[in-house]
A = this chain, B = another copy of it.
Amino acid sequence: MAISIAHLGPQGTYAELAALQYSTWLTHEFQQESRLCPCPSIAQTLRAVTQGQADLAVVPVENSIEGSVTTTLDTLWQLDMLQIQQALILPISHALLSQANAIELIKSVYSHPQALAQCQVWLETFLPTAQLIPTNSTTEALQHLEDDPTVAAISSQRAAQLYHLPVLDCPINDHPDNCTRFWIMGLQPSPGGSHTSLAFSVHDVPGALLKPLQVFADRGINMSRIESRPTKRSLGDYLFFIDLEADAREASIQAALAEIVDYTEVLKVFGSYSVLPTQSPPILEG
Name which of A11-19, A22-30, A150-158, A216-224 contacts chain B.
A216-224
Of chain B, the residue at the smallest CB distance from A68 is B228
User: Would you call the interface of chain A mostly helix, strand, loop, or mixed?
Assistant: mixed
> Does the CB pair B230–A66 fall under 8 Å?
yes
Given contacts A66-B70, A113-B134, A230-B67, whether A223 and B209 have CB atoms under 8 Å apart is yes
**CB proximity of A153 to chain B, nearest CB, Å:** 15
Output the nearest chain B residue to A112 by Cβ-Cβ distance.
B134
A135 within 8 A of B: yes
State in angstroms the CA–CA spacing of A133 and B144 once bound together: 13
- Indicate which residue in B65, B236, B238 contacts A232 across the interface (CB closer than 8 Å): B65
Residues in B neighbouring A222, C-beta threshold 8 A:
206-207
Residue on B nearest A65 in the bound complex, by CB: B232
Q: In whole angstroms, how far apart are the Cα atoms of A217 and B224 in the complex?
A: 21
- Chain A interface residues (CB < 8 Å from chain B): 62-67, 70-71, 89, 113, 117, 132-136, 175, 177, 179, 181, 206-207, 209-210, 213-214, 217, 220, 222-230, 232-236, 238, 245
A225-B225 contact, Cβ under 8 Å, with A207-B217, A213-B213: no
Q: Complex Cα distance A121/B253, Å?
A: 38
* Chain B residues, Cβ within 8 Å of A132: 136
Partner of A62, one of B135, B175, B181, B230: B230
Q: State the Cβ distance, A93 to closest chain B Cβ, in Å.
A: 15
